[in-house]
Chain A
């Protein structure tokens, strides 16, 4: 729908014709529905009912699109997921039990009757305006000799000559003005009625939201459990093993000292020292994977700067955050960004990376742009997929724009309240 009011009003008659034809279909469907209602008593009614109800859904979806387009809104589809594999009568029962089906049928009935009349009225007013305005000209020029059209016989007066048809021009003008000024409002009012019945109820919206939350919570719990297992395993196989070996080495050194062999003891002690270093390094890496110290110390802004410095490619950080976010959110953003940067190192063949983090409209937006070869896709199990799963727990989203040849832009969005306070050291 054009945004310019003038072009919009000029486009409306076309839309109205479309709506009008949809109301005719609605009428047919309504008749079918009533017939089905009767047939259900017999067994044949059930498959027919499924077909008819599905047809009504198709029609309702097209209504949603058309009305949504006209009003410039999005009308979400309120249906719950259908079981595809059930028996025919179970499917019928499923369809019948859903409230949305009956609201569709209600709209069907209203559209077939009221909608029919509304659009007809609109088109008639438009038609009258156009026709009677143009008619005098046509009669004078083209249909000069022919009889006047029957339309002109108004019963109380027959405008049978071209001159008399001129008297109808004021009527045309009046209709024209009416159409121009109120036609659109009239149709919009009617469409709003449609939105009431076609959109999901607040109950349906809440139900959908709850199941979305349940799903993401399950994923988060799984993820957390897997992480804990990984940490336990790393501690057990890595650091713990090293420290055990270390203890052994020191024990042997002790024995050597008792047996008066200081030189060999010194060698073992040197080994023990190295093993200590290795164990510390291992634990350091582990701690970093759980919660990087710099993130705890400096918050997200500082941690991203540190990440940029540590990255093998030059990374420019533009930090427009201006404050701190809740710690779990900062950790999620940190690790997500880290995964994106790792991905870039592995696949992108880039030379420069730009990282922009900002807060706007109750959302934190992180944009990672690289000048690599592009062609990145979100493959299941891949790096970007991991990012998506991390952000899911916070209702965040990730989008990838990656044409062949680059550049690639990965945009992560997470809803969040405004950052708190302002770090005095921002912009070091």
Chain B
């Protein structure tokens, strides 16, 4: 996979580069500021980009804005956004164009290499990777609407909202894929959502449902 990396902290940039290259990725360009990121994305059109939200020159949400902007020119360009803290507001903005290929994770998650690479591949394939913290807040706010779900179904819903496939959910919960399929069907039925074969569309539907006030 060709990857564009944007991270202004040099130690972290080097570490990420090494980790990515050790997992069958080629870092075609590693930048450390907003304008360079936009240029690199448009030039290389990578399979996926790993972007820190906070970049020079403004050190605000440069990375986020560059990502959204790039996706306007290259629709559904897969971008995984990393941040020291997660805000639901930013998650909403990233998902705004309702196309897949979007990820929003806490930088801490990088330390769990296997999960990070899995999330990266998912995003590159057009899927979604939402940080569990963002999902937890979403679920918390919708407590009333989710009353009818069993605890297991809630867990499955949460993992679905993160963007994981049925197989990954099964692995995380130590159950079979069939059981996961059954739970997810129940969840969709109880929430009145249309089932979809496409994992990606499923995630977007779930997230849209959860964000709805």
Contact = CB atoms under 8 A, between A and B. Distances in A.
A296 interface: yes
A288 B85 contact: yes
Interface string B70-111: 000000000000001101110011000000000000011001
A21 B200 CA distance: 86
Contacts of A293: 84-85, 87
Given A277-B108, A311-B141, A312-B140, A306 B85 contact: no
A284 B108 CA distance: 11
Nearest to B107: A280
Contacts of B143: 312
Contacts of B177: none
A428 B93 contact: yes
Contact of B111 (A277, A297, A302): A277
A285 to B, nearest CB: 9
A324 interface: no
Given A298-B61, A312-B141, A306 B84 contact: no
A418 interface: no
A56 B60 CA distance: 64
Nearest to A314: B213
Contacts of A287: 85
Nearest to A352: B213
Given A284-B84, A284-B85, A428-B93, A310 B137 contact: yes
A296 B92 contact: no
Interface string B97-138: 000000000011001100000000000000000000000010
B88 A314 contact: no
Contacts of A316: 213
B92 A297 contact: no
A296 B87 CA distance: 13
A48 interface: no
Interface residues of A, number: 24
B108 A276 contact: yes
Contact of A306 (B88, B107, B140): B88
Nearest to A278: B108
Give the interface centre of B85, B92, B107, B140 by most chain A CB atoms within 10 Å.
B85
A345 to B, nearest CB: 11
A309 B89 contact: yes
A280 B108 contact: yes
B212 to A, nearest CB: 10
Nearest to A351: B144
B126 to A, nearest CB: 24
Nearest to A428: B93
A294 interface: yes
A294 B87 contact: yes
A297 B87 CA distance: 12
A74 interface: no
A305 interface: yes
Interface in A271-290: 273, 276-277, 280-281, 284, 287-288
B130 to A, nearest CB: 14
B141 A314 contact: yes
Contacts of B60: 296-298
A288 B87 CA distance: 12
Nearest to B106: A280
Contacts of B107: 280
A288 B133 CA distance: 15
A281 B107 CA distance: 11
Give the interface centre of B89, B108, B111, B137 by most chain A CB atoms within 10 Å.
B89
Given A310-B137, A312-B140, A294 B111 contact: no
Interface string A383-406: 000000000000000000000000
A305 B89 contact: yes
B111 A273 contact: yes
Contacts of A276: 108, 111
Given A297-B60, A297-B61, A309 B85 contact: no
A284 B133 CA distance: 13
Contacts of A312: 140-141, 143
Contact of B88 (A298, A309, A313): A309
A44 B61 CA distance: 78
A284 B84 CA distance: 8
Contacts of A281: 108
A288 B108 CA distance: 17
Contacts of B84: 280, 284, 293
Contacts of A288: 85
B133 to A, nearest CB: 9
Nearest to B213: A314
A306 B87 contact: yes
A113 to B, nearest CB: 71
Nearest to A307: B89
Interface of B: 60-61, 84-85, 87-89, 92-93, 107-108, 111-112, 137, 140-141, 143, 213
20 contacts: A273-B111, A273-B112, A276-B111, A280-B84, A280-B108, A293-B84, A293-B87, A294-B87, A296-B60, A297-B60, A306-B87, A306-B88, A309-B89, A309-B137, A310-B87, A311-B141, A312-B141, A312-B143, A428-B92, A428-B93
Given A280-B108, A306-B88, A310-B88, 17 more contacts: A276-B108, A280-B84, A293-B85, A293-B87, A296-B60, A297-B60, A298-B60, A302-B89, A305-B89, A306-B89, A309-B88, A309-B137, A310-B137, A311-B141, A312-B140, A314-B213, A428-B89
